[in-house]
Amino acid sequence: MYQKILLALIVYFGFTFIFLPVGATACVCSPLGQNAWEAAALTFAGSTVVFEGEVITATDELTPPNAERSPLGPDVIIKFRVTRAYKGINGSSVEVIEQAAYSDCGFGLPVAGARYFIHGFKGKDGRLYVGSCLSISLAGPDLRYARGDPPTEDDLVPFDEKFRLMGHPNLATQGSILRGKVVSLNPPESANTYVTVWEVDEKGRRENLIAARQKVHPDGSFEIKFIPAGTYFVTAEDHRPTPKGRGIGEFGKISLAEKQSLTIPKFRLRPDPLGSITVHVTAPQELNDRIFVWVREAITDWLYGNPYFYAQTSQLDEKGVAHFTYVPYGTYNIYVQLTGDNSDKPSWTHEQARIMLKGDSADFTVTMKKANN
Over residues 210-241, the pLDDT tens digits come to 999 999 988 999 999 999 999 999 999 988 88
The domain tally of the chain equals: 3
Whether 40 is covered by a domain: the verdict is: yes
Whether 152 is covered by a domain: the verdict is: no
Q: Are residues 38 and 125 in the same domain?
A: yes
pLDDT of residue 165: 94
How far is Cα 121 from Cα 249, in angstroms, rounded to an integer? 35
Residue where a domain stops, chosen among 243, 268, 293: 268
Q: Are residues 76 and 107 in the same domain?
A: yes
Residue where a domain stops, chosen among 234, 268, 302: 268
Q: Are residues 236 and 299 in the same domain?
A: no
Q: Which parts of the chain register pLDDT below 50?
A: 1-30, 65, 71, 302-304
Q: Are residues 167 and 261 in the same domain?
A: yes
Whether 153 is covered by a domain: the verdict is: no
pLDDT of residue 184: 86
The domain in which residue 70 lies consists of: 2-147
pLDDT of residue 155: 95
pLDDT of residue 123: 87
How far is Cα 247 from Cα 264, in angstroms, rounded to an integer? 19
Q: Are residues 263 and 292 in the same domain?
A: no
Report the CATH number that the domain containing residue 136 is assigned in CATH. Answer: 2.40.50.120
Q: Are residues 176 and 258 in the same domain?
A: yes
- 348 pairs with which residues across the strands? 370
Q: Are residues 66 and 137 in the same domain?
A: yes
State the pTM of this model.
Answer: 0.71
Q: Are residues 17 and 131 in the same domain?
A: yes
How far is Cα 282 from Cα 321, in angstroms, rounded to an integer? 9
pLDDT of residue 6: 33
Report the CATH number that the domain containing residue 164 is assigned in CATH. Answer: 2.60.40.2190
Q: Are residues 18 and 143 in the same domain?
A: yes
How far is Cα 317 from Cα 290, in angstroms, rounded to an integer? 11
What is the widest separation between alpha-carbon atoms in the chain?
Answer: 62
Q: Are the beta carbons of 51 and 143 closer than 8 angstroms?
A: no
pLDDT of residue 31: 53
Whether 288 is covered by a domain: the verdict is: yes
Residue where a domain stops, chosen among 101, 127, 147: 147
